[in-house]
Structure 1
Amino acid sequence: MGGIVRLRGRFGPCRSAPPLETGFTPKLVASAPAATAVNGDISVMVSDRSNNWLKLVDEESGLYNRLYLIHYLTESFARARRYNAPISCLVIQAKPLHLSEEDPKSEVLSPSAVRALGGFLSSNIRTGDILGRWAADEFLLVASNTPPEGLHTLTEIISDKARTTPSDEPTDLAVSVHAGVAGLHDDEKIIRHAESMPLLARERLTPVFRTGQCKRRSLL
């Protein structure tokens, strides 16, 4: 799975997150501002920070954010336990590649790289899978009714697609992509809680592909 591959610099518009499940109402945290009565009306003073917290979509990637992923993972894990069904998750981590001396030595993905990679991943996942941004440099895919081997296969498909995606133009997406999988029933002796799944998947991160174009010298 080694080697540098080049992805098209423009993946087109990132597929937006699917409609939220009905019945999910975010609960305000204790620090959320309280309602105050003004001239008989109730007005809620909401700070920019609270507004960001209430959003369920990550603005940079166009995918679900961590808040929704936690909710979905928790409910899906509980359902899998209740009905003895499989469930698995895939953690995808991306780190900037420094392909030449001209590249900025940053460890943070640029917004364009986040959106391009998020768009590429979302266009290659299966219907019904939930994909979102888990951390600054990580994406999380949750697959209900799917054993871990199903996501291992999906990882291979995504990796092959990345290597075979034609590119006739330079790309600013230069990243090293790692992936790790965990889930039930393979890891049921280890995984006791929903939050244990992505943690275990992160421990299993291995390189799957690299993307980017060197400006001065080939790395092939």
Structure 2
Amino acid sequence: MMDLSYAQMLENAQRNEVVLRRFQAIELALIGASGFGQFLAGIRDQLPARMALEQAWLLLADSHGEVSAILGYDEVLPDGLLLEREPARLVERLGELPTRVRLGSPGEVLGELALDWAELPGSVALMPLWRDSTLIGLVVLGSRDPERFAPDQATDFIERFAAVTALCLDNVLNRERLKQLGLTDPLTGLYNRRYFDQRIDEELARARRHGAPISCLFLDADHFKRINDTHGHVAGDIVLRTLANRMRGQLRGCDVAARYGGEEFAVLLPQTALGQARLVADRIRTQIGGEPVVLPDGRRVPLTVSIGVSTCGNQLADSPMQLLARADAALYRAKEAGRNCIMSVESGAQA
């Protein structure tokens, strides 16, 4: 008859092999993630499904807002994701800096770290994600079973998984950074022309499918050459960054703003008819010209913009090139009319 202790050892070995294979399957999914969305899905969806857990959360340290910027998140985050803008507060909430995996009840493990649990778990596992001596995030796993993550449980597999997850997270964020660099203007932080041209194709196609209007704005900084000649190119760069920031503050999350070239900017307004687009344009014009740009040496530079507006209405027969061309023509009408004003044209009309 088989010795009981040997049978227990064999059973434990078989159980560990199953657990290891499950972790390896998730690791492969994380390693193969083509972007952050797939990576998050691996943590939030695949991990609970494969490991018979109720919930999984990913919390990222985002001290300078870089992560939210490169991922394109504003106020609304996907389910299962949290961003901590003040990573030092994690230490306060957790009681100490987590250097290793923690297991136990939510109160014991998480301290004052609040998560929006659908159901408070009986036990949790806290996995710190470290890269190059820097805590880049946390993964929190929750189970209804109070014994699932007991404090005296071995953590070898989870520690290994945390190390692999941290490496994968670092890689996917670096890929997103490179992607963002290829699609954004380094001076203003707005999208570049390449990205805008790609998005206008997509948004116009979507507008046709849903029969919704779509509008485009072309903006030009008035007398920008004079600003450069009078105050220098460094001052000109400050003016352009200020213009971009003031414009960005008047747009929705679904709008697409880009530096189209030099001192010209383009904005795509999905699901926006001509009247509403003119209102948006006027808010932008008013905000940009509301007060001078103050240079580091105290000099004050007046700044205004001329704006052309074009709209595809119910027919939506225009090509992206036609929509842009009409906005550009309307912009030149605004400049000819004395600048610091708005001109517009709707589909089927002449600018």
TM above 0.5, yes or no, is: yes
Number of the residue aligned with 2:204: 77
Contact 2:293 2:303 in 1 (8 A): no
1:140 matches 2:193: no
The alpha-carbon deviation at position 183 of structure 1 amounts to 1.4
Number of the residue aligned with 1:178: 306
Pick the aligned partner of 1:208 from 340, 343, 346.
Answer: 340
- Return the alpha-carbon distance in structure 1 between the equivalents of residues 291 and 236 of structure 2: 21
The superposition leaves residues 146-175 of structure 1 with CA deviations (integer Å, 9 ceiling, x where unpaired) of: 112211011222233345448888455444
Q: Is the partner of 2:254 in helix, strand or coil?
A: coil
Number of the residue aligned with 2:162: none
1:120 matches 2:246: yes
AA of the residue aligned to 1:200: R
Kindly indicate whether structure 1 or structure 2 has the higher relative contact order, using CA contacts under 8 Å at least 6 residues apart.
1
Contact 2:188 2:259 in 1 (8 A): yes
Q: Is the partner of 1:55 in helix, strand or coil?
A: helix
Q: Give unmatched runs, 5+ long, in structure 2.
A: 1-64, 74-177, 342-351
Q: State, as a whole percentage, how many aligned pairs show the same letter.
A: 24
- The structure with the largest alpha-carbon Rg is 2
1:56 matches 2:174: no
Pick the aligned partner of 2:72 from 3, 16, 19.
Answer: 19
Q: Is the partner of 1:64 in helix, strand or coil?
A: coil
Number of the residue aligned with 1:96: 224
- Return the alpha-carbon distance in structure 2 between the equivalents of residues 74 and 88 of structure 1: 13
- Return the alpha-carbon distance in structure 1 between the equivalents of residues 323 and 243 of structure 2: 23
AA of the residue aligned to 1:75: E
1:87 matches 2:87: no
Contact 1:90 1:181 in 2 (8 A): yes
- The 3 A distance-change label for structure 1 pair 202 and 16 is farther
The superposition leaves residues 177-208 of structure 1 with CA deviations (integer Å, 9 ceiling, x where unpaired) of: 1100001107x58x621122121111011123
- The 3 A distance-change label for structure 1 pair 133 and 172 is farther
More helix by share: 2
Report how many residues are paired. Answer: 161
- Return the alpha-carbon distance in structure 2 between the equivalents of residues 104 and 91 of structure 1: 25
- The 3 A distance-change label for structure 1 pair 61 and 194 is same
Number of the residue aligned with 1:131: 257
- The 3 A distance-change label for structure 1 pair 137 and 166 is closer
- Return the alpha-carbon distance in structure 1 between the equivalents of residues 69 and 236 of structure 2: 19
The alpha-carbon deviation at position 133 of structure 1 amounts to 0.7
Contact 1:97 1:176 in 2 (8 A): no
Contact 1:92 1:178 in 2 (8 A): yes
- The 3 A distance-change label for structure 1 pair 163 and 65 is closer
> What is the root-mean-square deviation of aligned Cα atoms in Å?
3.6
- Return the alpha-carbon distance in structure 1 between the equivalents of residues 304 and 225 of structure 2: 6
- The 3 A distance-change label for structure 1 pair 173 and 65 is farther
- The 3 A distance-change label for structure 1 pair 200 and 194 is same
- Return the alpha-carbon distance in structure 1 between the equivalents of residues 204 and 224 of structure 2: 32
